[in-house]
A = this chain, B = another copy of it.
């Protein structure tokens, strides 16, 4: 998959990379068709050939990066022994990703993501469905062992990720949070909320 990539794949990548670059520099508003073609050197026709629309391009970008994020989260819980260290690993992996890829995270969290996800989102949902199972089964396993409280999945997910997402959004927009401190403090706090009662 390296020396003789089909040229289409190459231009797709050129476009995806350029789109992220443009978004990082010019933000939501600046992410236009012409900005991307200019930044990538790829023609308008190619963009539409590969992605069908500007939202299609954004969607592909989101899909790519959401996959990576979820993959990292799955790895994090996969390598942890008990539920408690799993929570810590998960929170730190998430915050680490945000810190390492702030532009991507901004795109993933805010704005265009929801809309594109809603309207275009076949692929996006596929990625979620492909990458979530490790996380879900991790949770189920520990609920069964009596380590995590038996809550409805949606509530469990919100308790687990809600605060982390909240802190991330805040760091990405306002900036008045210390992510390292959050990584230190949040896990134990979150653990209290979802840990089984007999702790």
Query: Chain A: residues with CB nearer than 8 A to chain B?
Result: 27-29, 109-112, 114-115, 118-119, 149, 151-152, 154-155, 157-159, 161-167, 170, 173, 176-178, 181-182, 185-186, 189-190, 192-194
Contacts and interface: CB of A to CB of B under 8 A. Distances in A.
Contacts of A119: 27-29
Nearest to A176: B154
Copies of this chain in its oligomeric complex: 2
Q: Which 3 A-B pairs have the closest CB atoms?
A: A162-B162, A158-B166, A162-B166
Contacts of A189: 149, 151, 155, 159, 193-194
Nearest to A110: B114
Choose among A158, A161, A178 the residue with the greatest number of B CB atoms under 10 Å from its CB.
Answer: A158
22 contacts: A27-B118, A28-B119, A110-B118, A111-B112, A111-B115, A118-B173, A152-B177, A152-B181, A152-B185, A154-B167, A154-B170, A155-B163, A155-B182, A159-B186, A159-B189, A159-B193, A161-B162, A161-B166, A162-B164, A162-B166, A163-B163, A193-B193
